[in-house]
Chains A and B, each alone.
Chain A
Amino acid sequence: MKYVLMFAGSVDEQEAWEKMPDATRVAAYERVNQWFEEHSRAGRITGGAELQGPSSATTVRIKNGKAVVTDGPFIEAKEIIGGFAVVEVKDLDEALEMAKTWPGGGIVEVRPVVDHSEG
């Protein structure tokens, strides 16, 4: 069963992250990398990425066949998505176990991926 783990955090957390002393941030990245490596080696992670901040986002809205391009994320929210991982696990409990050990802090949303292979 495939799930996407979306890693989110508050704008404040994002700012705190950016203001972190380099050594602290390196150590935090180290923990995140370890988490990714561990689960990838176990075959539980099949993809994923860290995203740049919402200030780098561009939104394309398609309405009546016309594309309108605007600056910024599609929704102004207090929480922002910082990255995601695509995981392949047995069931929701296993996905939740992974989410609970996510070393990046903040919020992890767990969503099942639609399986188009059957029916």
Chain B
Amino acid sequence: MRVLGDFDLAEEVVQDSLVAALETWPEQGIPDKPGAWLMTTARRRAIDILRRNTRYREKLALMERSALTPEPSEADDRLRLIFTCCHPALSQEAQVALTLRAVVGFTTAEIGSAFLVAEATVAQRIVRAKRKIVDAHIPYRVPEGGELAGRLDGVLAVLYLMFNEGYLSRGAQRAMRRDLADDALWLTRLVATLLPDQPEVLGLLALMKLNLARSEARFDASGEMVLLPDQDRSLWDHAAIADGIATLERAGGMRASGPYQVQAAIAALHAEAPSWAETDWHQIVVLYEALVRMADSPVVRLNRAVALSHFAGPEVALGEVNDLALSLSGYHLFHSTRAELLDQVGEPVLAREARRRALDLCQNPAERSLLERKLRS
């Protein structure tokens, strides 16, 4: 589509080559020795580990780079298409829909069901977005130089949104959409292959891998949700954890930290802890501090407060959480987190109240069931 207006044609060409890539995508085994991940904040130890794992990292880098060996022009087309779909001149909703449609090959019905929007709305969003691409001459190109970082942030935001909707659905129909999460992972891996020198792409990839590695333990046999403290850690996919950590180490080696890498490092610390009690809360709080500096948001602060409760006690954490009431009053996890902390400081009546509020705001069936169980106990 370097010739403008041929968006549909470009989409088709790229989809064909993606299907071909999918068919030949090698399902490689994960190297057998999991490396312990340490954040750059623990530099001294990190350097040791990196030395120890150099060979392993090289092997993995080689594997990931050779996972997809498209013709250079094909790779360029794919990347151009992704950047065009995620152009900031399009609304983020349109970016997500267009990326799923044009790059991953979802039907409009599938996009609608994944994001709880009517199919007609999705179709209209896509038509409008394509029309804008043509009318406003949105270029079909990969941004260069100083422009790349900013535009890449937009692409990663779309990928992360896709993943999160798959990992823990906001909707009432299903708790998790593994297919959507897997597609987001696949697409992120593709971007990482096409842009191998971008540490934040690898950071996001590692974050997704580490979260997905816990999938088996997140729901029990009857489909009830099991939260991290209560999960059977032997059900975690330890090979996938090692893979995620190796990806994060590769990102760390590029010496440019960023919010996705930090979140992945937090996920890695959880993944490596033998139990909830033995989690390195100090390190996790340090990482959340870093995250607040890089990408401050009320949700990040809420998560930091949870980590802080294990390190500085529930009273301190509750104070932090209460400070977020204004911005997070419509977010169910704010109320359920508050409920947990209120229980810990011996305020069961207030805790119940907060839990009821969380239930009112939550649609995900597994999360609702968990809240209901706690309200009954």
Contacts and interface: CB of A to CB of B under 8 A. Distances in A.
Secondary structure call for the B interface: loop
Contacts of B141: 93
Contact of B89 (A1, A90, A96): A96
Contacts of B143: 93
A92 to B, nearest CB: 5
B10 to A, nearest CB: 15
Contacts of A1: 137
Interface string A87-119: 000111100100000000000001010000000
Interface residues of A, number: 8
Contacts of B89: 92, 96
A17 to B, nearest CB: 28
A112 B139 contact: no
B138 interface: yes
Interface string A32-74: 0000000000000000000000000000000000000000000
Interface string B78-96: 0000000001010000000
A90 B139 contact: yes
B135 interface: yes
14 contacts: A90-B137, A90-B139, A91-B4, A91-B139, A92-B87, A92-B136, A92-B137, A92-B138, A93-B138, A93-B139, A93-B147, A96-B89, A110-B136, A112-B135
- A-B residue pairs, 9 tightest by C-beta: A91-B139, A91-B137, A1-B137, A112-B136, A92-B138, A92-B136, A93-B139, A92-B137, A112-B135
Given A92-B136, A93-B138, 8 more contacts: A1-B137, A91-B4, A91-B137, A92-B138, A93-B139, A93-B141, A93-B147, A112-B135
